[in-house]
Every structure is written in C-alpha cells, then in structure tokens.
Amino acid sequence: MPRLTTSVLGSTALVLGLVACSPPTTETPPVETAIQTDAPAPTDDMADVVIPDGVIGTAKLTPASGDDTISGTVVITAGGGGFDVALKDFRSDVPGGVQLFLSPWSETTTCLADMYSYSFGNLSTDADQLGLSLGDRDFSRGDPSYYLTAVITASTPGTTDPDGCALTPRALGTITWNVPDTRPGLLAVDTGIRVGASGTTATADAAALSYRAVAGDTLNDIADRFGITLDDLGFLNPLTSRQLQPGDDLNLQVALRGGASVPPPWA
C-alpha cells in the first residue's frame, strides 16, 4: 500500500491530512471574541531545534485480542536526511502478511486502522523489517511525534468486525517518544480581531487553545493575530487536508498537536 498523503499547511490553503488519540472528555472552554493582549512578534531568532540522530521513538507491540500471537518492537530513528522505522524481533501468526501503520490516535480509538495513518505497506509475516522510510527531515515540519500508536493489521482484510471496521487491528503499541522541543518558545497569544482573522478563540486559564475560522479569514492573518508564523500554524495543525473553511477549528497549543486536538472522523 502506498503511503497516504500527509498534510501540508501552505500559504494560501490549510492542507489538513486525513491521518493522535481521542481527546479526553473535558468541559468546553469559554470562547473569547476579542482578547486584546500583546503577542510576541514572530522572529527568526527563535530557531527551530533539529531532532538529533538516534532512536527517537519506540512501541512494543501486543496482540489486540487473544486470537493472535504477535510480538515485536517498532523503533523510529532520526538519521542523515530523514526518519526511518524498523520492526524488530517481529513474530506473527497472521497468515498472508501484515501491514504496519502509524496512527495519530490512541489504542482505544474505534476502527483505528480504518482512519488516516502513515502506511508502510505489506510486510513479511515473520521477519524483521528495517529501513522503512517515514520521510525526510522536512516531514511533519521536522517533528513526527504527533503519531501516537503503531498498528499491525492483516494484509488481506477479512469480514468487518463487530464494530463495523474494515481493518481490524491485530496488534497495537503506544509510541514512546524521546524528542526535544523542536519549537522552543512557540506560544500563540490572541491580539484581537482583525480583517482576515475575525473568528473566535477558545481559551482555558487565559491560554489560547483553538481558533474557529469564519468567512473571509486567511491563514496569514490568523497567524499574525496570534503572533506566530504561518509555518508555526502548520506545525500546530498537522492533520488538516483541505482549504480553510468557515467553522474550521485550528489548534493553537503545542501539547495538543495532532490527534489530541482533532477527534477521529467518527468519534
């Protein structure tokens, strides 16, 4: 299976890829419509941090049910010009081969394997897999750590499972990341409504959580309203795959990057 298209936030369109866990249930934060606060002006002095070479993430696979015997460890490394994935000490009794995915949602998400994931295609049932490419250093703006779960499925789907899912996870593993803060000092502060960014901001404890777009908004103006760069806005929203539409919610918190701020399609 070819890799599914990942997301890119361009200068004129919010490209949000259908690819990290179902967000915890919380009270809806209050919505502010015009917070007048001084935001730090975006500056080139806040240089992005490059993830150093070496192992940056691991996930120990465990069977998703008692029907399978699957084991192994997914190892994600940074090196040279990109990120690589290896499936080590892998053993499986699933006939006909398996597929490996990285998903931005948690292990408990219903139909996890059916939703957008980064696919490495069909793999051998009973052998280590080395050198699977996760992309170059620019992939996910240099930081793929919004992926939360490694998923193994059968290469040939069977009948739908009791939840109606086409692809049943046969093994799962939560990814443990060891990466530095790649955007030190990144903080979105709402400086108030303006032309091209007149939507509303959801807040918690006076911190901006997300922004809801309205007609006439542009990504450049939204970024300017929050004192961040357009690239920062894309970094905060790696799961977006279409042009910005009224009603779209844009994440503004580094801690909520990825699926932590985007519910699964049928959650």
pLDDT score recorded for residue 29? 36
Mean pLDDT of the region 206-219 = 96
Find out if CATH 3.10.350.10 is the number for domain 31-48+183-260: yes
Boundaries of CATH 3.10.350.10 in the chain? 31-48+183-260
Mean pLDDT of the region 93-108 = 87
pLDDT score recorded for residue 4? 35
Amino acid type, 186: L
Confidence category of residue 74, pLDDT binned at 50, 70, 90 = very high
Tally of helices (H runs) and strands (E runs) in the chain: 2, 13
| Closest alpha carbon to 119 in 133, 130, 129 | 133
Where do runs of H (alpha helix) occur along the chain? 219-225, 230-236
| Closest alpha carbon to 199 in 164, 163, 247, 147 | 247
CB 166 within 8 A of CB 131: no
Confidence category of residue 16, pLDDT binned at 50, 70, 90 = very low
Boundaries of CATH 2.60.40 in the chain? 54-177
pLDDT score recorded for residue 60? 97
Three-state DSSP at 113 gives helix
Confidence category of residue 14, pLDDT binned at 50, 70, 90 = very low
Confidence category of residue 241, pLDDT binned at 50, 70, 90 = confident
Bridge partners of 211, per DSSP, are 201, 250
Structure tokens at 56: 């940056």
Q: How many CB atoms lie within 10 A of CB 132?
A: 17
CB 210 within 8 A of CB 252: yes
Mean pLDDT of the region 43-58 = 81
- Tell me: pLDDT of 148 over 90: yes
Q: Which residue has the tokens 């955007």?
A: 183
- Tell me: pLDDT of 98 over 60: yes
Distance CA 83, CA 78 (A): 5
- Tell me: pLDDT of 239 over 80: yes
- Tell me: pLDDT of 266 over 80: no
Which of the listed CATH numbers 3.40.50, 2.60.40, 1.20.120, 2.30.30 matches domain 54-177? 2.60.40
> 127 or 253: whose pLDDT is higher?
253
Mean pLDDT of the region 72-76 = 96
Three-state DSSP at 133 gives strand
Distance CA 21, CA 14 (A): 21
Confidence category of residue 238, pLDDT binned at 50, 70, 90 = very high
